[in-house]
Every structure is written in structure tokens, then in C-alpha cells.
């Protein structure tokens, strides 16, 4: 009985934590970034469309930023890990997987086949993202 109560409390705190992260992420997205300061170009409705053959996704504040990117086939996507805790990048279809990486680490994968690739951090499964390859 006590164990069930602890699990419910834990789930409630996890939900509160995720909600706070979502609000922080939205507020951070409203900041005034300098033009050209982001490593990918052409933002559309929360998604980023890359015009070059290289895109960088920042892994910080327990989120992938940008969370959704659209790229051409042959594009190399690099995840730069900036949090002080470890994260990883794991494709839902297991087509790519990084090891657990902390601040200063990076992982790259070249997308050579069109499709939609959903991924997450298996340590913090609420951290998700999608790369759409056209």
C-alpha cells in the first residue's frame, strides 16, 4: 500500500517536472536570438528546415532544440550535449543510437534515406524529437 502511494507521488512529481520543462522551453523559444546565430535555417511552425548538409541539435535543459527538423537526404545531423547530466539519442526504430553523453559530448548521424525518424533519450524518455528526411 505504501509503495503504491510513493509511486503515485513520484508520477505526479514527474508530471509537474515535465510541465515546468515545457513552459521553460516555450519561454526560451520566445527569446531574441540573433539572426544567423542558429546552426540550421528556415524555422516553420516550431520545426526547422535545414538548407545545408549539416544540422546541429542542442541537447540542453532536458530537451532537444530544435525538437523537429526537416533535412535533405545526405544531411549530417549532430547532437551537441550541453547538460551536466548524461543523455543519449536513440531512434525509435533503432536505426541509430548514441552512447550516454554529458556536457561537451556530441553524436552525429548522416541520414541517407527519406523518411521520418523519431528519437528519444532513453534515460529521460519524455525527451523526444523527430528528423524528417526528404
Q: How confident is the model over 52-103, as pLDDT tens digits?
A: 689 999 999 999 999 999 999 999 999 999 999 999 999 999 999 999 999 9
Q: Is the peptide bond before 66 cis (omega within 30 degrees of 0)?
A: yes
Q: Kindly report the pTM of this predicted structure.
A: 0.63
Q: Provide the percentage of residues in the chain whose pLDDT is more than 70.
A: 61
Those residues with Cβ within 8 angstroms of residue 121's Cβ, 6 or more apart along the chain or in another chain = 59, 64, 87, 88, 89, 90, 127
Q: How far apart are CA 55 and CA 51, in angstroms?
A: 9
- Residue pair 57/77 in contact by the 8 Å Cβ criterion: yes
With cell 528546415, the residue in question is 49
Element spanning 74, H or E: none
CB 89 within 8 A of CB 63: no
DSSP designation for 84 = S
The three-point CA angle 46-122-77 to 5° equals 50
Amino acid at each position: 500500500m505504501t509503495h503504491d502511494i510513493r509511486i503515485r507521488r513520484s508520477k505526479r512529481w514527474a508530471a509537474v517536472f515535465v510541465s515546468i520543462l515545457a513552459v521553460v522551453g516555450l519561454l526560451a523559444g520566445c527569446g531574441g536570438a540573433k539572426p544567423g546565430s542558429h546552426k540550421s535555417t528556415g524555422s516553420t511552425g516550431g520545426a526547422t528546415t535545414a538548407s545545408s548538409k549539416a544540422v546541429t541539435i542542442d541537447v540542453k535543459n532536458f530537451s532537444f532544440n530544435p525538437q523537429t527538423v526537416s533535412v535533405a537526404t545526405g544531411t549530417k545531423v549532430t547532437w551537441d550535449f550541453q547538460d551536466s547530466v548524461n543523455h543519449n539519442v536513440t531512434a525509435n526504430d533503432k536505426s541509430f543510437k548514441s552512447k550516454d553523453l554529458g556536457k561537451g559530448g556530441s553524436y552525429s548521424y548522416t541520414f541517407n534515406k527519406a523518411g521520418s525518424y523519431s528519437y528519444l533519450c532513453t534515460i529521460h524518455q519524455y525527451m523526444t524529437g523527430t528528423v524528417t528526411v526528404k
